[in-house]
């Protein structure tokens, strides 16, 4: 990790948790993590638990966010949640373009771009996810895929929008599968993404926080986070297990 850039470890709880299990997990995180450890830590629970998370984490130094948002600001959009609503519950971040949203809910690059803009309109920091499938990697298309996903957002929002955003490389074949990209594989894509942004604006590229996601565990976090272009992680399964998430957060601190 670069000494000048921020570091972030964010937990993506996906559709997991309950009031009771969240209470235990949040209490453990509050005891072990705070913001003054050379890295920032965040959790992204399902919408119904945002009030619980906000009550538990206010004043802890740990921040929180949501897993998606509506591309519209308000109106007749049954079932949707706006950025302003997320801000009402103290969210700092919102994940956009997660591969599960792209694949299972048919979110196109254009829709991801619209959600990215909606997040920034509301004062949220989007965590924009990009990543290739196994088939695309095997066809040698990794760079083309992540470039297309990033370009779709930059075309809409402009490169300067990346000053108020986080980028997460999440190879689809590594998410929830136990197969992690090797540190070298992840670093290569991170360097490609940073280089691509640098050709548009080198200052923005230097400051851009680039997370790796996909089966990050305590056993591989230190090596992943020690790569020069990996500034932290977006953590799924392991973010639900207090000991594992805390260990991964500490791996980000160790490299501070």
| Residue 176 makes contact with ligand PGA by CB under 6 A | yes
Active-site residue identified among 71, 98, 100, 107: 98
Query: In terms of CB distance, is 235 or 252 closer to ligand PGA?
Result: 235
CB of 211: closest distance to ligand PGA in angstroms? 9
Site track 181-220 with ligand PGA (rule: CB under 6 A), x = hit: --------------------------------xxxx----
Least Å from the CB of residue 14 to ligand PGA? 7
Q: How far is the CB of 248 from ligand PGA (least distance, A)?
A: 9
Tokens encoding 116: 């990215």
Q: CA-CA distances (angstroms) from residue 251 to 67, 104, 231?
A: 24, 32, 11
Which residues, including other chains, have CB under 8 Å from residue 95's CB and lie 6 or more apart? 10, 12, 44, 65, 66, 67, 68, 126, 127, 129, 168, 234
Query: Is 134 a binder of ligand PGA (CB under 6 A)?
Result: no
Phi and psi angles of residue 108, each rounded to the nearest 5 degrees, phi first: -85, 170
Are 182 and 224 contacting, i.e. CB atoms less than 8 angstroms apart?
A: no
- The number of C-alpha atoms within 13 Å of 197 and in the hemisphere containing its C-beta is 29
Contact between 236 and ligand PGA by CB under 6 A: the answer reads yes
Residue 98 annotated in active site? yes
Q: Is 203 exposed, middle or buried (0-12, 13-18, 19+ CB in 10 A)?
A: exposed
Catalytic: 143? no
**Residue showing the smallest CB distance to ligand PGA in the complex:** 236
Q: Compare residues 59 and 230 and give the one whose CB is closer to ligand PGA.
A: 230
- Between 205 and 211, whose beta carbon lies closer to ligand PGA? 211
Does residue 131 touch ligand PGA according to CB under 6 A?
no
Nearer to ligand PGA by C-beta: 72 or 133? 133
The tokens describing 157, both together, are 């929002």
Closest contact distance (angstroms) between CB of 128 and ligand PGA is: 12
Closer CB to ligand PGA, residue 11 or residue 121?
A: 11
Structural contact between residues 126 and 166, judged by C-beta atoms closer than 8 angstroms: yes
| Rg, the chain, Cα only | 17
Query: Which of 226, 200, 68, 184 minimizes the C-alpha distance to 147?
Result: 200
175 binds ligand PGA (CB under 6 A): yes
Contacts with ligand PGA by CB under 6 A lie at: 12, 170, 175-176, 213-216, 234-238
Residues recognised as catalytic: 98, 170
């Amino acid at each position: 990790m670069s000494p000048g850039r921020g570091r972030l470890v964010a937990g993506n709880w996906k559709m997991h948790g309950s009031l009771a299990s969240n209470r235990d997990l949040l209490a453990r995180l509050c005891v072990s993590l705070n913001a003054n450890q050379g890295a920032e830590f965040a959790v992204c629970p399902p919408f119904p638990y945002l009030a619980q998370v906000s009550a538990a984490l206010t004043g802890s130094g740990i921040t929180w966010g949501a897993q998606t948002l509506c591309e519209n600001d308000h109106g007749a959009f049954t079932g949707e949640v706006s950025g302003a609503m997320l801000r009402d519950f103290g969210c700092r971040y919102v994940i956009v373009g997660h591969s599960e949203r792209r694949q299972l809910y048919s979110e196109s690059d254009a829709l991801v771009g619209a959600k990215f803009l909606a997040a920034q309109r509301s004062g949220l920091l989007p965590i924009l996810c990009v990543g290739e499938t196994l088939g695309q990697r095997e066809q040698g298309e990794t760079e083309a895929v992540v470039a297309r996903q990033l370009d779709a957002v930059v075309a809409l929002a402009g490169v300067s929008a990346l000053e108020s955003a986080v980028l997460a490389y999440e190879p689809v074949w590594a998410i929830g599968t136990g197969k992690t990209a090797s540190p070298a594989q992840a670093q290569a894509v991170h360097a490609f993404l940073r280089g691509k942004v640098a050709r548009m604006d080198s200052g923005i590229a230097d400051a851009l926080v680039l997370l790796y996601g996909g089966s990050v565990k305590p056993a591989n976090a230190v090596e992943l986070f020690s790569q020069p272009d990996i500034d932290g992680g977006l953590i799924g399964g392991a973010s639900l297990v207090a000991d594992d998430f805390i260990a991964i957060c500490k791996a980000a601190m160790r490299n501070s």
